[in-house]
Amino acid sequence: MEKACIDINELVNVFSNTHGSIYQSDKLNCFYVDFGGKFARFNCLSLQKLKAVVEQIDIEALLLNTHKADFELVTFNGCEHIYLLSALEIIALKDLLQGTFTMFKLNHIISDCLYRLVY
């Protein structure tokens, strides 16, 4: 999906690093992952599945295996997006997804604390 099709003012930046960003659209109830030159739309469950798939990749084994290239094909059932990533890109995507889910947890903790103070 092209960035031009989306009103960037309606997107909330959840987390960014030097390699990409993850945005939240409250209007469309979805997330946009801007990574590796690709701007892809995910629902909440798909974003969790993407994180699980990326977390399962063994970077050390990938780098130590001399019989195959240091690239990994990242996709999962029900996903229309495919990423072909180098070991360094996998590390960057892991960092991006971990930071995003940390922000989700932090937001929940803050909301929970504020709710307790009010009630």
What CATH code is carried by the domain that includes residue 87? 2.30.31
pTM to 2 decimals?
A: 0.86
Q: What pLDDT is attached to residue 88?
A: 95
How many structural domains are present in the chain?
Answer: 1
Distances (CA, A) of 95 to 14, 15, 20, 24, 109: 13, 10, 10, 17, 21
Across the chain, which has 119 residues, the per-10-residue mean pLDDT values are 63 95 93 94 95 96 89 90 95 97 89 76
Alpha carbon 31 to chain centroid distance? 9
* Domain enclosing residue 9, as ranges: 3-118
**Residue 78 token pair:** 């029900």
DSSP code per residue over 84-119 = EEEHHHHHHHHHHHHHHHHHHHHHHHHHHHHHHHH-
Query: Which token pair is 86?
Result: 């180098």
